[in-house]
């Protein structure tokens, strides 16, 4: 009988346990992808992320065809239609079992539970794997009970578990063995029927993604700790879109780091260690999705913060979205997001802090806007990043720590290189004035760049005193 492999956020052949297991258990394997446009719209998938998904799907379809594996497409609006449609396909191609890698947010878990139950009712088995994480959610637990709410102990325990588990070998060799057995097929490219925005600069074949990863490890990771907060330096991996659609596996990253230290995950130099911790942040937020369903329902992790009197001012929000706040670093970040569908991590933190703590606008508006524009839009990482910045989440930045956008700008972009790249009105402003260019521009008779839309000091005080009031009231 045939094995059916259902690809979702794991558009790769290597380190894909679902695919590997299906190949080992069945003489014939068929692959399927479900295009659920309406559901993705509900989840705010950005047009650029859809384009990336389509491009990666087509790379995958070609690679599967070379192995003699057909990629079938199931198309419907919502996840709820999938049990019936997948079963229909399973019957058509005479499948005895379905294989997939788990996703951890609530809608996806409900989707998978429904498919699992429906297949079981029809005497078909589903096999679930966790290839998108290095350590599964239930494998990192505090000694007491529950789950880690703070990153530092999570990271410690995550590293210990990783050391015990080790990193599975790449499945490239097994795949190469399979290649000889089947006739290559023709593949007809898939076209997503939705608004898209060109993501070609982010798309990579699996091989090229591996080359990019390796290049980063060899040439940049050593300096990561020192340079990662400087947006003009471009010193981070820019691999986030590839993790999000699953072209790269976290195991590939772990193996690359392991080559730097035989005691992996220990014994790494500062740069590599810090980068490993970023991979752990990614997993921390996925684990939280698993443990805290309320996060998938738009709720703050710290329930008392729901009482904050958030503002819902559309005009102010539009100025933030368009990068017209009058704070150069914030505007540069928002314009990078609009232009590239991506933003440097430090700047994501600065713009998020600004929306929430200077404009007092509900963090969920920012979270949604990010998802609508990011090529790496990840529900878990984005929600985690926003709740961290808004001081509403687990292990969030304390509410009284409010970023000063001007000081941040001076620290992370002292010469204004990043600002000038994205804010053309400030192209000719010397470094000395770049962080607060208003007087300089006025003296030059230039009125293109907006005045600061809010007084930071006053906004900060209001935020802190209101938040403090909430905490005291609990």
- Residues with a catalytic annotation lie at 278, 281, 310, 345, 363, 386
**Using alpha carbons only, how large is the chain's radius of gyration in Å?**
24
User: Out of 17, 103, 108, 244, which residue is the one contacting ligand FAD (CB under 6 A)?
Assistant: 244
CA distance 174 to 264: 25
C-alpha triplet 451, 456, 462: angle, nearest 5°:
135
**374 is a site residue for ligand FAD (CB under 6 A):** yes
Q: Evaluate whether 361 touches 355 at the Cβ level (below 8 Å).
A: yes
CA distance 470 to 474: 6
User: Out of 6, 40, 320, 386, which residue is the one contacting ligand FAD (CB under 6 A)?
Assistant: 386
**352 is a site residue for ligand FAD (CB under 6 A):** yes
CA distance 367 to 169: 37
**CB of residue 345 to ligand FAD, shortest distance in Å:** 3
User: Out of 12, 204, 255, 348, which residue is the one contacting ligand FAD (CB under 6 A)?
Assistant: 348
Judged by CB under 6 A, which stretch of 151-159, 301-309, 343-351, 461-469 contacts ligand FAD?
Answer: 343-351
**377 is a site residue for ligand FAD (CB under 6 A):** yes
Nearer to ligand FAD, 97 or 276 (CB): 276
Nearer to ligand FAD, 237 or 394 (CB): 237
CA distance 378 to 129: 20
**349 is a site residue for ligand FAD (CB under 6 A):** yes
> Strand 95-101's sheet: what is its strand order?
70-76, 28-36, 2-7, 95-101, 125-129
**CB of residue 378 to ligand FAD, shortest distance in Å:** 4
Judged by CB under 6 A, which stretch of 6-14, 106-114, 262-270, 373-381 contacts ligand FAD?
Answer: 373-381
Q: Report whether the peptide linkage leading into residue 366 is cis, meaning its omega lies within 30 degrees of zero.
A: no
Judged by CB under 6 A, which stretch of 47-55, 107-115, 375-383, 455-463 contacts ligand FAD?
Answer: 375-383
Q: Evaluate whether 454 touches 324 at the Cβ level (below 8 Å).
A: no
Per-residue x/- marks for ligand FAD, 275-304, CB under 6 A?
---xx-xx--x-------------------
Nearest residue to ligand FAD, using CB?
A: 385
Sign (positive or negative) of CA dihedral 99, 102, 106, 107? negative
**320 is a site residue for ligand FAD (CB under 6 A):** no
Nearer to ligand FAD, 345 or 406 (CB): 345
CA-nearest of 370, 358, 373 to 327 is 358
Nearer to ligand FAD, 120 or 270 (CB): 270
Separate counts of helices (H) and strands (E) for the chain: 21, 5
CA-nearest of 20, 38, 26, 56 to 375 is 56
**CB of residue 108 to ligand FAD, shortest distance in Å:** 16
**372 is a site residue for ligand FAD (CB under 6 A):** no
User: Out of 39, 240, 325, 336, which residue is the one contacting ligand FAD (CB under 6 A)?
Assistant: 240
Torsion of CA 105, 375, 34, 210, to 10 degrees: -100
Between the alpha carbon of residue 324 and those of residues 329, 371, 374, the distances in Å are 11, 20, 19
Residues at the site binding ligand FAD, with contacts judged by CB under 6 A? 228, 236-240, 243-244, 278-279, 281-282, 285, 345, 348-349, 352, 370, 374, 376-378, 381-382, 384-386, 389
């Amino acid at each position: 009988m045939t094995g059916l492999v259902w690809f979702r956020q794991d558009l790769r052949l290597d380190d894909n346990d679902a695919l590997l297991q299906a190949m080992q258990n069945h003489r014939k394997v068929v692959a399927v992808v479900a295009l659920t446009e309406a559901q993705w719209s509900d989840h705010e998938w950005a047009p650029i992320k859809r384009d990336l998904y389509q491009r990666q799907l087509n790379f995958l379809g070609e690679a599967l065809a070379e192995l003699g594996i057909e990629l079938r497409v199931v198309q419907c609006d919502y996840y709820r239609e999938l049990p019936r449609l997948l079963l229909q396909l399973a019957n058509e191609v005479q499948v005895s079992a379905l294989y997939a890698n788990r996703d951890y947010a609530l809608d996806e878990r409900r989707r998978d539970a429904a498919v699992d139950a429906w297949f079981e009712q029809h005497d078909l088995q589903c096999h679930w794997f966790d290839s998108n994480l290095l350590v599964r959610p239930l494998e990192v637990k505090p000694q007491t009970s529950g789950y880690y709410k703070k990153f530092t102990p999570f990271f410690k325990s995550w590293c210990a578990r990783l050391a015990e588990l080790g990193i599975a070998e790449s499945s490239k060799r097994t795949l190469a063995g399979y290649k000889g057995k089947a006739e290559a097929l023709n593949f007809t490219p898939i076209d997503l029927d939705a608004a898209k925005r060109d993501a070609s600069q982010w798309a990579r074949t699996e091989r090229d993604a591996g080359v990019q990863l390796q290049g980063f490890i060899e040439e940049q990771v050593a300096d990561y700790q020192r340079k990662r907060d400087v947006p003009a330096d471009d010193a981070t991996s820019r691999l986030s879109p590839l993790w999000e659609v699953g072209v790269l596996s976290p195991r590939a990253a772990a193996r690359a780091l392991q080559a730097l230290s035989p005691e992996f995950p220990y014994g790494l130099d500062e740069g590599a260690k810090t980068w490993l911790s970023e991979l752990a942040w990614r997993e921390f937020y996925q684990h939280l999705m698993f443990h805290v369903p309320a996060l998938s329902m738009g709720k703050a992790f710290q329930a008392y913060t729901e009482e904050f009197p958030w503002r819902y001012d559309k005009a102010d929000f539009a100025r933030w979205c368009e990068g017209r706040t009058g704070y150069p670093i914030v505007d540069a970040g928002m314009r990078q997001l609009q232009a590239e569908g991506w933003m440097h991590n430090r700047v994501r933190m600065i713009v998020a802090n600004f929306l929430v703590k200077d404009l007092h606008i509900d963090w969920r508006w920012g979270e949604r806007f990010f998802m609508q524009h990011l090529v790496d839009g990840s529900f878990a990482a984005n929600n985690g990043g926003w709740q961290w910045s808004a001081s509403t989440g687990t292990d969030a930045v304390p509410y009284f720590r409010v970023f000063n956008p001007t000081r941040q700008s001076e620290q992370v972009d002292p010469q204004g290189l990043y600002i000038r790249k994205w804010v053309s009105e400030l192209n000719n402003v010397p470094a000395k004035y770049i962080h607060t260019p208003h007087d300089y521009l006025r003296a030059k008779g230039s009125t293109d760049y907006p005045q600061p839309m809010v007084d930071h000091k006053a906004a900060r005080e209001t935020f802190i005193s209101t938040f403090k009031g909430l905490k005291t009231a609990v």
